[in-house]
Chains A and B, each alone.
Chain A
Amino acid sequence: MNKPPHSLLTLADTILLVFAVGLVVSLYLTFWQNGEANFAEVRNHSQQTKRFNLSQNQHIDIEGPLGHSQLQINNNKIRFVSSPCHNKLCVRSGWLEHNGEAAACLPNRVSVRLASNKQRITFDAINF
């Protein structure tokens, strides 16, 4: 028995596809535009953390085992200006501006992480 061939898209399929494409576009708009961080969390060698508001331009000095690490907050961004370490990986990380971004000077045991009041950061990953 020969059935008539299906048409590729029914009316309902077309409507569904329009909504699906709309959903995907709205996902891009939602998840690729946030990353608004509003504070920086700086951690030193004794695991003490201190929060700095990103809207306040300032220089921050952190004392570590090797010496002073200097951070700068400017225009809702933060960076390592200088650190007494060898590789300067922290300084080369450049400006951090998005929620969840982080930079660290491991030799001087200073790290900074951007976070937001709206989004809670818990674990990076869990393995069983």
Chain B
Amino acid sequence: MSSPTHITANHDDHVIALFAALAITIHIAEAALPSPLPGIKPGFANIITLYVMLQYGWRTAVWVSLLRVLGASLLLGTFLSPTFILSLSGALASLMVLGLMFHLPRQPFGPVGYACLAALAHMAAQFFSAYFLFMPHPALLALLPILMTSALISGGLGGILTSMTLNRLNNRS
């Protein structure tokens, strides 16, 4: 067996690569924005995750989201740093919540519902990772309500944008 194995990219791979690249771009653009409080971010890269899940299914969204976290951390130089761990924990939590919601019978939720709950899960996971791994100080808990409020607002905004994107793309094709 000396001949090299050829791996051919199928349609799914192209979809994943395309959307992961888009999400990484948004993630990095957001990293350049100033933030009023560490932890508050618009989270527009998650719109891509949500859009991909609604169009291509949950498994594809998992790939896109995790590749985004990995790719963006490599480009920003935060790979395996606390930032990366927080980013990963948030992504994993929101993917789990999205997976549970998406696989409910008859899919009762729309983009705004998905985005809000995923954003809350994302923020909660990040917060408690930060709390237990890096800053186990009770004063940090006072930030939790503010952070969760911002997560709910940005999640709602992301959901509305996803819903608008879906409507526009569905009308065009």
Interface residues of chain A, those whose CB is within 8 Å of chain B, are: 1-3, 5-13, 16-17, 20-21, 23-24, 27-28, 31-32, 35, 99-100, 119, 121-128
How far, in angstroms, from A17 to B155 measured CA to CA in the complex?
A: 11
Contact A125 B171 (CB under 8 A): no
**B138 touches A (CB below 8 Å):** yes
Contact A122 B148 (CB under 8 A): no
Contact B110 A123 (CB under 8 A): no
Q: A2-B170, A6-B163, A123-B136 are in contact. List 15 more A-B contacts (CB 8 A).
A: A5-B170, A6-B167, A10-B109, A13-B110, A16-B113, A27-B148, A35-B142, A100-B138, A100-B139, A121-B137, A121-B138, A123-B135, A124-B135, A125-B137, A126-B135
Contact A31 B144 (CB under 8 A): yes
Contact A23 B160 (CB under 8 A): no
Chain B residues near A7 (CB, 8 Å)?
110
**B112 touches A (CB below 8 Å):** yes
How far, in angstroms, from A13 to B107 measured CA to CA in the complex?
A: 11
Residue of B whose beta carbon sits closest to that of A118: B138
How far, in angstroms, from A126 to B132 measured CA to CA in the complex?
A: 10
Contact B152 A20 (CB under 8 A): yes
Contact B136 A21 (CB under 8 A): no
Partner of B141, one of A6, A16, A31, A126: A31
**B173 touches A (CB below 8 Å):** yes
Chain B residues near A6 (CB, 8 Å)?
110-111, 163, 166-167
Contact B145 A24 (CB under 8 A): yes
Chain B residues near A99 (CB, 8 Å)?
138
Q: Across chains A and B, which 7 residue pairs bring their CB atoms closest together, nearest first? A: A13-B113, A12-B108, A27-B145, A28-B145, A10-B110, A5-B167, A3-B170
**B149 touches A (CB below 8 Å):** yes
Interface of A is mostly: loop
Chain A residues near B136 (CB, 8 Å)?
122-123, 126
Beyond A8-B110, A31-B144, whether A21 also contacts B133 by CB under 8 A is: no
Contact B160 A8 (CB under 8 A): yes
Most buried by B among A12, A99, A123: A12
Beyond A20-B117, A125-B137, A126-B135, whether A13 also contacts B109 by CB under 8 A is: yes
How far, in angstroms, from A90 to B110 measured CA to CA in the complex?
A: 55
Residue of B whose beta carbon sits closest to that of A124: B137
How far, in angstroms, from A122 to B135 measured CA to CA in the complex?
A: 9
How far, in angstroms, from A11 to B110 measured CA to CA in the complex?
A: 9
Most buried by A among B82, B111, B120, B138: B138
Shortest C-beta distance, A74 to chain B (Å), equals 23
**B24 touches A (CB below 8 Å):** no
Chain A residues near B120 (CB, 8 Å)?
20, 23
How far, in angstroms, from A9 to B139 measured CA to CA in the complex?
A: 36
Residue-wise interface mask of B (144-173) relative to A, using a CB-CB cutoff of 8 A (1 in contact, 0 not): 110011001000100010010011001101
